[in-house]
Chain A
Amino acid sequence: MSIRVRFFAGLRERLGRAETEVSADEGLTVQGVWEMTAGGEPLPASVLTALNHEYVDADRSVHDGDEVAFFPPVTGGQR
């Protein structure tokens, strides 16, 4: 199966990539996607995870065609 992976803001800059794609067998979790794409760094507790545009916990399973995103705490609105 094929998964689209996206990174945003400070995390995108730190990892040096905005998006990538991973090929894997069924049974992979969001956490597993991070491990395949983030260069060996453990998933920081502060990093938020989304699956197909919705917040999920990192133990959620992913499926073919899914989009997984990792990003820092959000800072929208006005300060």
Chain B
Amino acid sequence: MRVQICEAPFDPWAALQAYQEERRDDLGSFGATAVFVGTMRDFNEGAEVECMTLEHYPGMTEKEVARIVEQANLRWQIIDTLVVHRIGDIYPTDPIVLAAVWSTHRGDALDSCRHIMEALKSRAPFWKKESRAGSGRWVERNTSGYKAS
């Protein structure tokens, strides 16, 4: 498992490929890789967002994400997990988060990847501040993950 907090922009696909190359011997005979990439949109609640600043709690963030992954390991058959999360100033179209799970089967890979993302959003100590027209506003809560009907 690797949990990485990134202060600079990162390429999730390059990170994924590099990790898989590096861990090839340990990944063994994996048959499924589930990947989630979260990207910054340019609109939120009808207003244009120019920039977003992500603050975190150094030390606790890494431990909390590791606890989330360890709990997922108890529930699903997981071979390995990579989580990368941006902090700092983020602009529209910048990747924010990568969660990748290697498993033997697609069910375990997909379900655990979804679980890790949902748990990360509700438990990992990150906070978003959106800037628009020169003023900043803290985001108070996350959305459910599905488009509101």
Contacts and interface: CB of A to CB of B under 8 A. Distances in A.
A73 B141 contact: yes
Contacts of A48: 125
Contacts, number: 86
Q: Residue among A69, A72, A77 with the most chain B CB within 10 A?
A: A77
A75 B38 contact: no
B96 A78 contact: yes
Interface string A7-36: 011100000000000000000000000000
Interface residues of B, number: 33
A31 B31 CA distance: 49
Q: Which of B59, B60, B140, B142 has the most CB of A within 10 A?
A: B60
A9 B120 contact: no
Contact of A77 (B57, B60, B117, B140): B117
Contacts of A10: 127, 138
B129 A9 contact: yes
A10 B129 CA distance: 9
B90 to A, nearest CB: 10
Nearest to A53: B60
B27 interface: no
Interface in B35-53: 38-41, 44
Interface in A44-73: 48, 50, 53-55, 69, 71-73
Given A76-B124, A79-B139, 4 more contacts: A6-B57, A77-B117, A77-B126, A78-B39
Interface of A: 6, 8-10, 48, 50, 53-55, 69, 71-79
Interface of B: 38-41, 44, 54-57, 59-60, 63-64, 85, 96-97, 117, 120-129, 138-143
11 contacts: A6-B57, A9-B138, A50-B60, A72-B140, A74-B124, A75-B142, A76-B127, A77-B124, A78-B38, A78-B40, A79-B139
